[in-house]
């Protein structure tokens, strides 16, 4: 490489390159390691190697589909860490001889080749741009309309890769018109089969609902101590114990039982994080009460759903036995 070429590339990479993603340096690197020339497929493969969303996508496929089939047929065994599936194992695979391994691997290769010969590249149509090419301009418009959030779970494009999904699948006659497109994160899109025409575009709008005059919809920012996409945390204005916190969905919704699952997930995540922080801040905390007042008869006075997280300390009441049963006078002890 000439000094001029080296200087040009070095200057561009170090000072002139403006990045909105990793694509530029990945492509330059691939060209460099291949002697200055690379095919589109080689560059695409290099980009794929840096995209964890694709690994996660096929991780979901492994756990939710192929892993279940093989395990149910007694071929594989699931390996777990706690409740999480971490891998699979072929029982007694160590007993196979090298010739036996070769025969089995060849049988797998033959099965793959035979299937692809029958089906061709259509087998990858669920992941292929060729199944319905969406131009960059149209893709941008769909994502912009969704405010760069998944229109089902609400996660932002900064946290998970977003995909443009056909509401009515193309194999059912769905068009590439913007009205038939929605933004979904790869997890939600993986769970939505190509037979499913569920339209989630309105869900994101519901998450944005706020109500004038609601004290939780109009919280001053200095009261918010933590938040995520769909929920936030404040300290209770009238605490029953030090550290008494409220976990509140951002959407104006009165009843806990009408929350969407992503909101429940968001609340649970913040509750765990808040609990952990309180335990670090105060080693005198020995337990927690968690509770929701749902409806006037249950004591709800602010009709914007909120979950109480109340730290408890030994000796803060004479006899804590029964805990939340104490909301009904005389019923705490049993």
Helix (H, G, I), strand (E, B) or coil at 235: strand
- The residues, ordered by sequence, that sit 6+ positions from 62 with a Cβ below 8 Å of its Cβ are 88
- Residue whose structure tokens are 């104490």: 326
Helix (H, G, I), strand (E, B) or coil at 238: coil
CB distance 255 to 294 below 8 Å: yes
CB distance 90 to 98 below 8 Å: no
Helix (H, G, I), strand (E, B) or coil at 198: coil
- The residues, ordered by sequence, that sit 6+ positions from 175 with a Cβ below 8 Å of its Cβ are 168
Catalytic residue chosen out of the listed positions 149, 166, 304, 306: 306
**Tokens matching residue 44:** 């695409």
149 is catalytic: no
Angle at 129 between CA 123 and CA 132, to 5 degrees: 95
Among all residues, which ones are annotated catalytic?
306
């Amino acid at each position: 490489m000439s000094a001029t070429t080296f200087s040009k590339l070095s200057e561009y990479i170090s000072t002139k390159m403006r990045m909105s993603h990793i694509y530029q340096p990945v492509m330059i690197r691939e060209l460099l390691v291949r002697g200055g020339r690379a095919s589109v497929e080689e560059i695409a493969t290099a980009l794929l190697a840096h995209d964890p969303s694709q690994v996660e996508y096929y991780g979901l496929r492994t756990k939710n589909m192929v892993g279940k089939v093989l395990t149910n047929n007694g071929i594989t065994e699931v390996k777990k860490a706690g409740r999480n599936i971490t891998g699979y194992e072929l029982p007694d695979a160590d007993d196979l001889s090298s010739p036996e391994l070769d025969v089995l691997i060849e049988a797998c290769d033959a099965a793959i080749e035979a299937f692809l010969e029958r089906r061709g590249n259509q087998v990858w149509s669920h992941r292929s741009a060729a199944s319905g090419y969406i131009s960059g301009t149209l893709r941008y418009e769909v994502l912009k309309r969704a405010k760069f959030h998944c229109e089902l779970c609400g996660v932002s494009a900064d946290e998970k890769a977003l995909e443009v999904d056909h509401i009515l699948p193309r194999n059912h006659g769905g068009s590439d018109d913007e009205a038939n497109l929605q933004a979904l994160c790869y997890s939600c899109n993986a769970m939505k089969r190509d037979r499913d025409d569920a339209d989630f575009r309105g869900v994101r709008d519901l998450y944005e609902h706020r109500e004038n005059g609601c004290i939780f919809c109009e919280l001053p920012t200095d009261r918010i101590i933590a938040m995520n996409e769909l929920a936030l945390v404040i300290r209770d204005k009238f605490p029953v114990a030090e550290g008494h916190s409220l976990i509140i969905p951002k959407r104006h919704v009165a009843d806990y039982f009408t929350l969407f699952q992503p909101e429940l997930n968001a609340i649970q995540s913040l509750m765990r994080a808040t609990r952990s922080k309180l335990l670090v801040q105060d080693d005198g905390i020995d337990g927690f009460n968690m509770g929701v007042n749902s409806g006037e008869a249950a004591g709800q006075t602010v009709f914007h759903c909120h979950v109480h997280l109340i730290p408890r300390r030994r000796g803060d009441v004479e006899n804590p036995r029964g805990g939340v049963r104490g909301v009904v006078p005389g019923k705490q002890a049993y």
